Amino acid sequence: MRPLQPVRGTQDLLPEAARRHRRVGETARVFAELYGFLEIATPIFEFKDVFARPIGEHTDIVAKEMYTFTDRGGEEVTLRPENTAGVVRAVLSNGLVQSLPLKFFYEGPMFRYERPQKGRFRQFHQIGIELIGVAQPQADIEVLALGRRILDALGMGERTVLELNTLGDAESRAAYRQALVSYLSVRTSELSEDSRRRLKRNPLRVLDSKEEPDQHVIRDAPVFADYQNAESRRFFDQVRTGLDRLGIAYRLNPRLVRGLDYYTHTAFEFVTTDLGTQGTVMGGGRYDGLIEMMGGPAVPGVGWAAGVERLAMLMPEPLPLRSPVAMVPIGEAGEMAASKLAEELRDHGLAVDLGYSGNLARRMRRANRIGAFAAILLGEDELARGVATLRDLDTGVQCEVSLIDLPARLRSLADERAVR
C-alpha cells in the first residue's frame, strides 16, 4: 500500500502557510477594490476548448501540461491552467460585453503538469486582474500601478523590478515575426530541440528560452524596436510616460515576450532575484485579440496574474496572529459556565480558546503554548460572587474582575500588551 503522501507537485497548506496565502489574497483584494476591480470566481474546470483554442494546441501548456480528462458524459474538460481565458469565457457566456468596461479581480487554484521546482507546483494559486474594453494606454498604466501597489503593501516592493516591453500592434508584430523567422531559420542547427519546434509553431517563444545554445543565437537576433510602426511607438511612449508620471520605476527588456498571437502592445513582468530561476512573481500584458479569437467581438483587454506561492515565499513575516484569551474552568460548575462566558466574550470581538480537559496546570501550559495574553480562571466560588480571576500571562499578575466588566478589562489588557 502506498504511504499517505500528497500527490507530487501539491502541498498541504498548514496554518502558517495558509496565513501567508491569506495575507496575499486579502491584501490584493483590498487594493483591487480601491481601483474599482470587482471579484469574479469562475469554475476550476472548463471545456477543453476554452483553453486549447486561445493558448494554442501546439504550446507546451496544451500539449504537455494541461490536466484534461473525459467526464462521465463524454465531454473533454480541463482543470484551468490559467484564468484569463476562463474570465473571458464568463464575459461572453453572460453577455457582459454590453456593459464595458469591465474590471475583474480573481483568486484561486490553477493546475499544470510540470516539473515541480522552488515556488512552482502542479496545483498552484494565483491572484489576477483583467481590465476589458479599454483600448487606451491608460488601462495598461492602471493595471501596472495596481500591481506595484500590491507588491509594496506586501513588503516586497524593493525586492522586485518591473520589466517592460512592447509587442506592437498586429502589423508590427507580423513584420517582426517574419524577420525573426528569417534570422533563426539559417541558424536552426544551433538551436535546442525545443526551440526548433517552437520556430515552426510559435517563433517568438524562442526568445523566452533559457538554454545556453539558444541564448547565444538570440543575442544577435533582430530587435523588435526596429519593426515598430508609428502607432506602436506612440502607444508604448504613452505607457512609459504614464509610469514616469506616477513614479513607477521600470527597466526595458526587449527580449520579454508573450508568445501567443493575441497579445499586443504592452508586455511586462515583475521579477526578483531572490527565488533563483523562478524569478517572475507577476506577469501580464495586453491581449486585444483574445476575445475575438474566442468567438466574441473585437474587444481589447489587459491584465496580469501573480503566483501566490512565490509571493508568500518573498513576503516578510506576516502580522502576528491575534493573541487569544485562555478560558480555564475549574470544577464542574466552571465547566458548565465556561462555554457561555466564552461566547459572550467572542460577541465583544475577543478570541477565546476554550480548553476541553485537563487539570489547572495542564490548561495553563496550553495557554502559554498558544500565546494567550490572559487566562480566565472560573470556578464555583468565583461564579457565586459574579467574578472571574483574570491573570496577565505576561506579568503573572492576577486579580478578580466582575463578569460584567470582564470584556472591557480584557480589551484594555490587550491594548496594553500591544504597546509593550
Q: What confidence tier does 319 reach under pLDDT thresholds 50, 70, 90?
A: low
pLDDT at 342: 93
Query: For the ranges 25-39, 42-56, 231-245, which has the lowest average pLDDT?
Result: 42-56
Q: From 273, 159, 261, 180, select the one nearest 222 (Cα to Cα).
A: 180
> Which has more pLDDT, 201 or 192?
192
Distance CA 191, CA 117 (A): 25
pLDDT tens per residue, range 133-171: 999 999 999 999 999 999 999 999 889 999 999 999 989
pLDDT at 273: 83
The pTM assigned to this predicted structure is 0.86
Does the pLDDT of residue 57 top 70, yes or no? Answer: no
Q: Which CATH number fits domain 15-169+229-314: 3.30.70.100, 2.60.40.1760, 3.20.20.140, 3.30.930.10?
A: 3.30.930.10
In CATH, what number does 325-418 get?
3.40.50.800
Q: What confidence tier does 115 reach under pLDDT thresholds 50, 70, 90?
A: confident
The alpha helices in 2-125, defined as continuous H runs, are: 15-34, 48-55, 60, 84-93
**Hey, where are the domains in the chain?**
15-169+229-314, 325-418
Query: For the ranges 127-136, 303-312, 334-343, which has the lowest average pLDDT?
Result: 334-343
pLDDT at 372: 92
pLDDT at 304: 97
Q: What confidence tier does 54 reach under pLDDT thresholds 50, 70, 90?
A: confident
Average pLDDT over residues 311-325: 82
Average pLDDT over residues 266-293: 89
Distance CA 10, CA 31 (A): 29
Residue with cell 500500500: 1
